[in-house]
């Protein structure tokens, strides 16, 4: 049997501690599967005295993660520190330049520096594995990087943030407000004290940018993503969606068009009958549309110590199974130097139309004015419905559902209605997406 694979782990938070625990508890199974033992021989974390509920045995302790990354005592450096810059970047770069394989769960790091780090890994002939960076325990990276070889991917989309999906699920199931659901998510540990990164779509955007690179062979462009969060979703939107046969989900969507690549993160109405509409709570799901395989949907736990640690262990096991002299595949499916520049697509006709909710003054001529603004922008309406609350005599809610149209046209029409002075509150515009 080959010698043990020597692993160094930087970051012993929830995920790091779970990785150490799994490596110990599953040692015999991993040895049988990989043909060699996987040994955590070194660790690094801020606090040596903290009780993490794990036995570090004889593992060497490094106060400096960069020193651990460069150590000749390890063959694999596992980065679980987090953050797009600073010590996480320094340590990963140091490990790759020293010829160490790297496993990371750091989506922010990869979305900003992934292509540069991939170039180093490929030059040094080492692996940079990152399954845990996107959708937790779901093996979407391995699927896209390896299992779909030969397939042409046209679109990838999905639910990639468990916090948002949990909030939207509770809002629909229990009739709670966004604010109440967020507070409960924070109490249960599903949302941070400052939840902005999750609820405003940044977390999903980082993950989507990585999948976009894998899908279309382009450089990562996390700063070129249209992004909306879920903080403006109300019970009025949830109820209207249900009446129309839809469910609201925060989706990340990337697709290739004639004019370039479109990346967007936003609340979306999906048909209740679709598979992705049945993904509830903190669960994640990613759909991949291909020419040969058709549509593939992967679903499972998207966060949490064990789910993320499982993906990290899978990446380490892949390295343990590789043999000296084996030519590793490129980090993002294409060699880093051959990744195409990202070209942002023009605004296009959005398949499936738009849901528009307007709260308007209850006065003569409002309906006609709204219809005129839609017609002036060549927007065809599938339906227009008025909702009234007897307790609110001064205003009414108007729900519009459009046929397929242009994003720019919808925005221009809504801006015109706003300028006309008919609205009492900010308008709500939600895309309707064909879904798996």
Active site residues: 207
Measured distance CA(145)–CA(110) in Å, rounded: 15
Question: Strand, coil or helix: what is 372?
Answer: helix
Residues 115, 336 contacting (CB under 8 angstroms): yes
Strand partners, 381: 402
| Cα–chain center distance at 72 | 35
Measured distance CA(230)–CA(165) in Å, rounded: 10
Residues 101, 94 contacting (CB under 8 angstroms): no
Question: Strand, coil or helix: what is 185?
Answer: helix
Residues 199, 230 contacting (CB under 8 angstroms): yes
Question: Strand, coil or helix: what is 253?
Answer: strand
Strand partners, 397: 359, 387
Q: 188, 249, 187, 254: which is closest to 220 by C-alpha? A: 254
CA atoms within 13 A on the CB side of 367: 12
Residues 385, 370 contacting (CB under 8 angstroms): no
What is the rounded end-to-end Cα distance, in angstroms, of the chain? 45
Q: Which residue spans within 160-308 are E strands per DSSP?
A: 226-227, 246-257, 260-271, 283-290, 295-301
Q: How many residues does the chain have?
A: 436
- The CA-CA-CA angle for residues 126, 210, 69, to 5°, reads 35
Q: 179, 158, 180: which is closest to 249 by C-alpha? A: 158
């Amino acid at each position: 049997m080959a010698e043990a694979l020597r692993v160094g782990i930087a970051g012993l938070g929830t995920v790091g501690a779970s990785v150490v625990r799994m490596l110990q508890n599953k040692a015999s199974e991993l040895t049988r599967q990989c043909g060699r033992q996987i040994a955590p021989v070194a660790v690094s974390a801020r606090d040596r005295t903290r009780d993490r509920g794990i036995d570090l045995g004889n593992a060497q302790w490094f106060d400096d993660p960069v020193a651990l990354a460069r150590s000749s005592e390890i063959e694999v450096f596992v980065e679980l520190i987090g953050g797009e810059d600073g010590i996480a970047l320094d340590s990963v770069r140091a490990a790759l330049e020293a010829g160490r394989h790297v496993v990371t769960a750091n989506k922010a790091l990869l979305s900003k520096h992934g292509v540069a780090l991939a170039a180093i890994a490929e030059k040094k002939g080492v692996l940079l594995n990152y399954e845990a960076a996107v959708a937790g325990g779901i093996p979407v990276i391995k699927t896209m990087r390896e299992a779909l070889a030969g397939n042409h991917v046209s679109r990838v989309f999905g639910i990639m943030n468990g916090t948002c999906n949990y909030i939207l699920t509770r809002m629909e199931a229990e009739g709670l407000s966004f604010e109440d659901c967020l507070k409960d998510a924070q109490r249960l540990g599903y949302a941070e004290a400052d939840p902005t990164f999750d609820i405003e779509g940044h977390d999903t955007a980082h993950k989507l940018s990585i999948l976009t690179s894998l899908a279309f062979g382009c450089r990562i462009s996390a700063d070129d993503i249209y992004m909306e969060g879920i903080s403006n979703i109300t019970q009025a939107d949830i109820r209207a969606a249900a009446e129309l046969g839809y469910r609201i989900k925060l989706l990340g969507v990337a697709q290739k068009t004639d004019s370039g690549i479109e990346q967007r993160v936003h609340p979306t109405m999906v048909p209740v009958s679709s598979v992705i509409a049945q993904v509830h709570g903190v669960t994640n799901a990613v759909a991949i549309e291909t020419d040969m395989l058709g549509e593939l949907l992967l679903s499972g736990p998207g966060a949490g110590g064990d789910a993320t640690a499982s993906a990290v262990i899978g990446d380490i096991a892949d390295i343990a199974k590789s043999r000296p002299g084996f030519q590793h595949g490129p980090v993002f499916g294409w060699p880093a130097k051959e990744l195409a520049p990202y070209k942002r697509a023009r605004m296009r006709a959005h398949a499936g139309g738009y849901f528009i909710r307007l709260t308007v003054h209850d006065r003569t001529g409002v309906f006609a004015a709204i219809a005129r603004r839609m017609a002036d922008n060549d927007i065809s309406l599938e339906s227009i419905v008025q909702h009234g609350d007897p307790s609110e005599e001064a205003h009414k809610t108007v729900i519009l559902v459009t046929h397929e149209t242009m994003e720019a046209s919808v925005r221009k029409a809504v801006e015109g209605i706003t300028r006309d002075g008919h609205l009492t509150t900010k308008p709500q515009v939600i895309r309707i997406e064909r879904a798996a």
